[in-house]
Structure 1
C-alpha cells in the first residue's frame, strides 16, 4: 500500500525525474531488505504505480542487489494487472471466455523474467484483489483453478531452463481463495502454500499433518498495515509486537517456514515491526519465550539510540498496549466498504472511574514522557527518535483525545456542564496539532528529506477529518450541579436519586463525584460527609469559567477502620453552594463471610476477573493452559495447548485441562458469564476455537468462537482485538462459588472474564479487577 507515503515521497522528493517509484527508490528498498537479512520483494502494485517490469532498470537493480522478485496474491505470473491489463485491448480477465489472451499475457512475462531471480505466484483472482471471474461458487472454481495452475506450470516448463519442479512457485490462500482450496483444490506437491492472516494479525490457517509433508513447504503472508474492511490501518504502526511474535512463532513451530512475507504498507511508519518480523525470520529460537519480545525491543532501542533504552522501551510498549485496546485509526467507530461516518465511541464517561478519562490520562502521561525524552536525545539520534517514537506517540494521543474530547463535549452538554464548550475547543485543537506535526515531519525534518512520506489522512477517511461537534447550548437552570459516578445522561434527564456505586470492604475502590458549573458566574462550594468514615479528596473550592476551572472531580473512599460494626451501612455527602444543597448517598458493606475469603468479589452486580488470577491450574495428558506474557488487554493471558486433534466433548470435565477461579456473589440470581479471548483462528481444519466453562462443578458448556469469513462478528472482533462469548447460568445462591474453564482446542488465548448479574453499565476496555485485597485505606 504505497499510495500515502512511499510513492508520494518518491515522486516529490527522492525520484522526481521518474514521477513514480523507479529504480532509484527500489534500490533503497533492496538495500533495506539486505540490511534486514531479507531477500524477497512483492512489488508495488496499486493504481497509479508504474509496473516494475515497465522499466528495465528496475530489473537490473534487483539483480545487482540479489533480491528475488515476487508478486502478490492478486498478481499471478509476475504481472501487475492494475497497470498492465488493458481490458479495452485484451478483453475481460476471464480464463473461461478469454483464455488465449490471458495465457499470452502470462507467457510474455515468463519469457521476460526467465533469467531473473523470481518467485511465481500461481492461480488467478480478479484484476485487483477481487474474486476470480467466470464462476459463481467456490466449488465451481476448483476445476477452473486446477486447469489454470496446470497451464501456468506448463508455461514455466516451456520457457525456463530449469525443470518446473525446481522453480520457486507459491499459491497464496488469501480471502476467497482459501474457500476454494477447502473445496478440494489439488495443488502440485512442489508449490509452496502461503497461509495468510486475516489482515489484522491473526493467522487464518496453518498446516495439517498431510500439508506438512509437501515438498513445496508452506509460508505466511502477514499484515502490519492494511487497506480494507472493516477499517484501514495505514497511518501509524499499531500491531502489537507480542501479537506478531505469538502468531509467527505459532507458524514456525508448525513448520510453516519456507516463505514469510510481510505487508509493510508505506514502510516508513512500521520500522520497528518490520525489524522484529525479519529478526524472527532469521533466528526464531530466542522468540520461543514470550518474554523475549520486550528484550528484543530494548536491544533494538539500545542499538538505535545508545541511551535511554529502558525508557524508550517502556514508552513503546505502552503505546502498543493502548493501540491493542483500540487502534488510533479505529477511534471514529466508523468502517469502510462501505465507508460510514464517525460516531461516538463506546468508552464509558460516567462509570468505571470514567473509562474515557482514564484512556486520556494514559495517553497524556505517555505523551509527556515522549516529549521529555525528546529533549534528552540530541545530535544525529534526535531525528530518528522523532520518527520512531515521538511522532507516532503524540499523534496517537491526539487522535484519541480528538474523539474522547468530542464525546465529552456532546455528553456533558446534555448535563448542562459549562465544560462542554471547553472540550469542544480541545477536540479541535488536537486535530490542528496532528496537522502541524505532520507538516513538520514532511517539510522541516532533516530539511524536507522525507517530504511526502507521512500522510495524516490516508484515503481521506472520515476518522481523519476535523471533529464533527454539534452546536452546544447550555441551559442555565442551575448555577451549579453535582454528578456522582454512574449518573449518566439518562439519570440526569430522569432526575434519579444521586448515589455512588456500593463500596465493598477488601476491594480497592474509589469513586468520583463531579461538582460543575452551569452558569457563567463563579460559585463557591463545600462538601460535608455525614460520618467520618467517608474520605474526600477535596471538601471545598471555587468554580469559575477561567482556565477551565468550571469542574472539580472529588474522589471518595472509605476508611474501614472507622466504619460502623454492621454488615451494611450508609451515609451521605452534602454539597452546598449559593444557598442550595444537594445530597449524594454513600453505601458500603463488609460481610463477615468475606473476612476469610480470598478471590474475586461481586461489586455492583458484576465480577471482573483477569485470566492469570486463577487459584488452581490442572493439566491433563492431552491439554493444559500456559501463561503468555506481554499479550492481551490485561498484560498477561493464558493460552491453551492441546496435543490431540479431538477431545471428546462429552467427557471434557474428565479429560481436558482446566483452570479454576473462586468468586463471591451477593446477588440472588443467575449470572451471565462473558469470556474474552483474543480473536485467533483454528490451527488447521481439524480444530475449531472451543473451550468449556462450568460453575460449581456443574455441567460443562462448550463455547466456540470460530468465525466464518468476514462476518459482522469477525469485524467487531478485529476492531477491538477481542472475541466475546456469553453463557447464561441458572440462579446462584449468594456466597462462595468456583468457575472452571477447560482447554479443548489449541491456540485459544484467554484474556479475562466478566460475571454479570444485572449490571447495566457497559465498558469498552478492561473493567478493573474486583479481587479482594487486604487494604484499609487509599491515598489520593
Structure 2
C-alpha cells in the first residue's frame, strides 16, 4: 500500500510511505508510483517514452488534482511539461495467483541472435548474463509478476553467469526451471557436466540413478542461499523435452522413486526446513498428464501444474476432489510454440478473449497457485504478456467482456488517451484476424478464391485494419512511433502481407487453370508482397539504431512440415504464356463458385458445353453474383453481355479486354425482385457474351453463355423471427439466437469477440453441473426452409476446447430439430491414458474450431427436414466449457470455404430483403477482383 503520513520521522512533516508485505510488495508499490508518474513497464523493452513532468505530486485523499497530465502519446506541447498528480492512498489486495511469470523458450533464432549481437559470448554458449536478466527482472516486477523460467535451449542460467541467481534473489524473483528440467538444473548442464558424476552418461534414472542423484543434489545445494526465492521442478522427463523411453506403467513406478529421492535430498540439504514448506511443482505437461491420470501421485504439498495443449486450450483442470491439496494447482500456458502440428513463433497471434475464457475456467477451478506463460523470445509478444500478467494479478477484474476495456487502458498508458479507443479496436480486431488461422498454417488453399467472396473479404479486412493502424501512426509524435510500430503497426502490416502472399498464390493457381493473362500480374503482386515482408522486417530491425535487430529473424513463409523452414520461401506459382492466344480465343469467361472457363475445355465443366451455371439467386441470399470476362490471348477485344430477362441487372454490359487498353472485368449480376415473376417461381436466365475478336469466333469452340437460376421465394407473413434458407443452406452466428432458456441459475452467455468471425456462446457459471436435455437450458434458432431433404448435415463450429473436466465429464452438446428426441454428440473424443491428444485435435487447433477439417465429423449431425416451412433448431451444451461459434445447415448447397457461408438472412433482423451479405464480413470486396494489393 502507499499512503501519506504526517510526522513519520523527526524533522519530516509529511511523507509518502510505501509499505509492502515483503520485498516484492514494496517494489510493486514503487513501480506503481513510477507507472502513475508516466513510466510504462515497457519503457525499455518496447520503447514507450518516459513522459517528462515539471513536478510529480503526491495528493492527499481529499485533494483535487490541479494539473491535468499532458496529452500522452503526442509530441511535447509548447511550453514546460505539466505536473502530474498521483493516487497515493492505494491498497493492493493479495494477487489472484501466487506465482505469476513467464518462460523464455524457443529462443532461436530471434532472441539468441539478438543476445549474440548485444552481449559478450558466454563460456558455454550465448551470453544470457546478468545484464540481460536485469532487464527481464525489471519488466517482470513492473508487470507485478514474480516467477521466471530462463531460456534453456542452449543456456544454463546458473552457469552462464554466476551473478544471475544472486541478482534474481536481490530482485525478489522466484526462480524455477522448465517442465523438463528438475531440481533447478538446466538440460544443458547434464550434457556439459554430466560425465563428472560417472555412470554411463545417460539421462536415465532406471539405469544411471547413481549419477543422476548427485546431479539433482547439487541443484538443491546451489539453491541453498536462495531457497526463499526458488520453486523446484520435480520428477523428470526424457532428455531434451521428450518422454521417458519407458512404458507408462514403468514410468509411473520409476517417477515415484525419483520424487521420493528428490524429497530425501531436500531433507539432507535443507536440514532446518520442513520439506513440505519448500515450494515444489510437478508439471503435467504432454505425456506426464497421462501418468497422473493413470494413478501416479505426489505429496499434497507439491503443486500440480496443469498444461494447455500448446495452442491455448487447457487440457485438464482440478476436479472437485483435487482442490484440497495443500500445494494447490496451476496452469502452464503457451503464446508461442515449437512443435506439431506446426510452430507458431514469428509474431503475436493471440486472441485475448480466448485467454480470458480459458484462464477464467482455471481460476474458477482453483488452478491459481502458479500461472506460467511460455512467451518464446519475449518480443514481439508484449501485449499478450502484459494482458496475462494483469489477468493473473487480479482475475476477477477482467471478465469475459473485458478485452476492449483492457486494451483501451493499455493504449492510454502507452500512447495517451486521444487514440486509445481506436488502438483498442485495432488490436481487438487484429486478435481475431491473426488467431483465425496462425500465419504459419496459412497456405494458398485455405481461403476460397471462388466461393462466398471469402478470400477477397479477408484481404478487405486486413486492408481496412492496416489503413486504421497507419492513420494513427501518422498522427503520433516521433518519439512514440517506434513503440507503436513494434507493438501495433508491424504486426498489422506483417499479417496483411502474409495473407496477401497466400491468397495471391491461390488466385495465381486459379487464374493459371483458367489460362488468364492476369495470372502473371498476380504472380508479380505476390513477389512484391514477398519483398514487402522483408522490408517490414528490416524496418523493425533498423529502429532506434538497430536496437532490436534480429528479433524478426524468425522464418514464417514456406512451411512444409511442423518445423520452421530454413529460409522464407513463396508458395509454388505459375506463369502463363501471354505471347500466344489460347485455343479458345482471346477472351475467357469465368463465374463465381467455379474453377471452370468457357469457351473451351477444362476439368471443371462438361466438355465443349460452353455453358456455366452461376449459384442461384433468391430474395434472401446475396444481392449479387459475378461473372468475370478476362484476357487469355494477345488481342484487345470488345465484348458485350446481355441478360435474357429485363429484371436481371448487370453492373456493366460492354467493355474492352486484353491488348494495351483493355482490362479484365468483373460484372456483378443483381435482380430487381419487384419486377421478377412473383413468388413462388423458379426461372433460368441466360447471360449471352459476344466478342469482336476473330469475327465473333472463340477459336475452335462455340460462344460462351452463363445460366443464372432465379428462385423467387417467399416467407409467409406469420414467420416473424428467424433465419431463412437460401442456396440450399442456412448459416448462423451462434450468439444470434431466436431465444434461449435459463434453468436453476444456469444460462448461456455471449463471449464478445471470441471466435473466428463473431462471438462465442457458452454455459455460465463454469462450475455448473452436467446438464441434460430435459431440464437444462437450451439455445433455440427459428428457421424457415424451402427444400425438403431426407438428410441435412448440421455442422457446429465449436472452439477447440478439451476435456478439462476430466474423463467422466467429456465435452458434449445435444441437438434436435423441432420436437424430435435430442441427439447427444461428444465432439471431443475421450483419450486413453497413453494418448496425449484426442483424435482430430491437430485439425481443430490449426483451424481454430472443432468441425472444420474434412476428417473431423464429430460436430456434424444428420437431420431431416422432410417438410418445407418453419422449424426450430435446438442446441444444448451438456458441459460448461463448450463454446459454440457458428452453425451451418447444409441441404446440399454448401460449397467449400474456410469460414463457411456468410450468415443467412434473418427475418426480424436488421437486414433488408435482397440485401443479405455477400461475404462473411459484410465488407465491400469489389476492389479485390483484380488482385491482392
TM superposition score normalised by structure 2: 0.78
CA distance in 2, matches of 1:740, 1:546: 58
Residue of 630, 638, 649 corresponding to 1:535: 649
5 Å matches for 1:292-311?
A: 292-306=402-416, 307-311=418-422
The answer to whether residue 474 in structure 2 is matched with residue 375 in structure 1 is yes
CA distance in 1, matches of 2:550, 2:287: 35
Residue of 893, 900, 906 corresponding to 1:759: 893
The answer to whether residue 572 in structure 2 is matched with residue 450 in structure 1 is no
Residue of 101, 112, 132 corresponding to 1:25: 132
How much does 1:519 deviate? 1.2
- What SS does the aligned partner of 2:299 have? coil
How much does 1:759 deviate? 2.7
User: How has the CA–CA distance of structure 1 residues 697 and 38 changed in structure 2, closer, same or farther, with 3 Å as cutoff?
Assistant: same
Deviations 1:245-298 (A, max 9, x none): 11111111222111111001000110000000001111122212x221111011
Worse overlay, 367-376 or 146-155: 367-376
Residue of 167, 176, 183 corresponding to 1:61: 167
User: How has the CA–CA distance of structure 1 residues 605 and 687 changed in structure 2, closer, same or farther, with 3 Å as cutoff?
Assistant: same
How much does 1:112 deviate? 0.6
Residue of 849, 867, 871 corresponding to 1:733: 867
How much does 1:439 deviate? 1.8
The answer to whether residue 804 in structure 2 is matched with residue 683 in structure 1 is yes
1:325 counterpart residue number: 436
The answer to whether residue 844 in structure 2 is matched with residue 717 in structure 1 is yes
Worse overlay, 302-311 or 11-20: 11-20
How much does 1:640 deviate? 2.3
1:589 counterpart residue number: 711
The answer to whether residue 230 in structure 2 is matched with residue 124 in structure 1 is no
How much does 1:460 deviate? 4.4
How much does 1:463 deviate? 8.9
- What SS does the aligned partner of 1:588 have? strand
Number of aligned positions between the proteins: 759
2:304 counterpart residue number: 193
CA distance in 2, matches of 1:70, 1:244: 23
2:451 counterpart residue number: 351
1:656 counterpart residue number: 776
How much does 1:653 deviate? 3.0
- What SS does the aligned partner of 1:63 have? helix
2:155 counterpart residue number: 49
User: How has the CA–CA distance of structure 1 residues 40 and 751 changed in structure 2, closer, same or farther, with 3 Å as cutoff?
Assistant: same
| CA contact 2:894–2:901 (8 Å) conserved in 1 | no
Residue of 270, 275, 285 corresponding to 1:164: 275
**Larger Cα-atom Rg:** 2
How much does 1:242 deviate? 0.5
Give ranges in structure 1 of 5+ residues lacking alignment.
Answer: 333-343
CA distance in 2, matches of 1:646, 1:328: 38
User: How has the CA–CA distance of structure 1 residues 173 and 776 changed in structure 2, closer, same or farther, with 3 Å as cutoff?
Assistant: closer
User: How has the CA–CA distance of structure 1 residues 694 and 634 changed in structure 2, closer, same or farther, with 3 Å as cutoff?
Assistant: same
5 Å matches for 1:105-504?
A: 105-116=215-226, 117-133=229-245, 135-136=246-247, 138-160=248-270, 161-288=272-399, 290-306=400-416, 307-332=418-443, 344-353=444-453, 355-442=454-541, 444-457=542-555, 460-461=564-565, 464-473=568-577, 476=582, 477-489=584-596, 490-492=603-605, 494=607, 497-504=611-618
| CA contact 2:516–2:576 (8 Å) conserved in 1 | no
CA distance in 2, matches of 1:113, 1:602: 68
CA distance in 2, matches of 1:50, 1:441: 29
5 Å matches for 1:494-533?
A: 494=607, 497-533=611-647
- What SS does the aligned partner of 1:361 have? helix
1:621 counterpart residue number: 744
2:918 counterpart residue number: none
User: How has the CA–CA distance of structure 1 residues 14 and 313 changed in structure 2, closer, same or farther, with 3 Å as cutoff?
Assistant: farther
- What SS does the aligned partner of 2:840 have? helix
User: How has the CA–CA distance of structure 1 residues 463 and 256 changed in structure 2, closer, same or farther, with 3 Å as cutoff?
Assistant: farther
- What SS does the aligned partner of 2:118 have? helix
1:338 counterpart residue number: none
1:696 counterpart residue number: 818
| CA contact 2:128–2:157 (8 Å) conserved in 1 | no
CA distance in 1, matches of 2:847, 2:818: 31
TM superposition score normalised by structure 1: 0.93
How much does 1:408 deviate? 1.1
Deviations 1:28-69 (A, max 9, x none): 1111101110011011111x3344334211112212211111
Identify the structure with the greater helix proportion: 1
| CA contact 1:415–1:492 (8 Å) conserved in 2 | no
The answer to whether residue 763 in structure 2 is matched with residue 640 in structure 1 is yes
Query: What is the root-mean-square deviation of aligned Cα atoms in Å?
Result: 2.3
2:10 counterpart residue number: none
1:39 counterpart residue number: 146
Deviations 1:497-545 (A, max 9, x none): 3222112223443222112111122223233333332233333332236
Worse overlay, 744-753 or 365-374: 365-374
| CA contact 1:646–1:687 (8 Å) conserved in 2 | no
CA distance in 2, matches of 1:395, 1:266: 18
| CA contact 1:642–1:744 (8 Å) conserved in 2 | no
CA distance in 2, matches of 1:630, 1:66: 37
How much does 1:646 deviate? 6.3
| CA contact 1:431–1:467 (8 Å) conserved in 2 | no
CA distance in 2, matches of 1:495, 1:612: 47
CA distance in 1, matches of 2:464, 2:471: 11
Give ranges in structure 2 of 5+ residues lacking alignment.
Answer: 1-105, 557-562, 597-602, 698-702, 852-858, 916-923, 927-933
| CA contact 1:678–1:748 (8 Å) conserved in 2 | yes
User: How has the CA–CA distance of structure 1 residues 15 and 271 changed in structure 2, closer, same or farther, with 3 Å as cutoff?
Assistant: farther
User: How has the CA–CA distance of structure 1 residues 391 and 614 changed in structure 2, closer, same or farther, with 3 Å as cutoff?
Assistant: same
| CA contact 1:5–1:453 (8 Å) conserved in 2 | yes
How much does 1:398 deviate? 1.0
How much does 1:623 deviate? 4.7
The answer to whether residue 124 in structure 2 is matched with residue 13 in structure 1 is no
- What SS does the aligned partner of 1:93 have? coil
| CA contact 2:686–2:705 (8 Å) conserved in 1 | yes
Residue of 565, 569, 581 corresponding to 2:678: 565
- What SS does the aligned partner of 1:393 have? helix
2:178 counterpart residue number: 72
User: How has the CA–CA distance of structure 1 residues 646 and 456 changed in structure 2, closer, same or farther, with 3 Å as cutoff?
Assistant: closer
CA distance in 1, matches of 2:216, 2:570: 46
CA distance in 2, matches of 1:678, 1:388: 27
- What SS does the aligned partner of 1:96 have? helix
The answer to whether residue 81 in structure 2 is matched with residue 81 in structure 1 is no
User: How has the CA–CA distance of structure 1 residues 361 and 712 changed in structure 2, closer, same or farther, with 3 Å as cutoff?
Assistant: farther
Residue of 680, 683, 689 corresponding to 1:575: 689
CA distance in 2, matches of 1:509, 1:732: 28
CA distance in 2, matches of 1:463, 1:743: 45
- What SS does the aligned partner of 2:115 have? helix
- What SS does the aligned partner of 1:32 have? helix
How much does 1:491 deviate? 2.8
User: How has the CA–CA distance of structure 1 residues 414 and 316 changed in structure 2, closer, same or farther, with 3 Å as cutoff?
Assistant: same
CA distance in 2, matches of 1:643, 1:37: 27
How much does 1:584 deviate? 2.1
- What SS does the aligned partner of 1:126 have? coil
2:734 counterpart residue number: 611
User: How has the CA–CA distance of structure 1 residues 494 and 638 changed in structure 2, closer, same or farther, with 3 Å as cutoff?
Assistant: farther
| CA contact 1:428–1:467 (8 Å) conserved in 2 | no
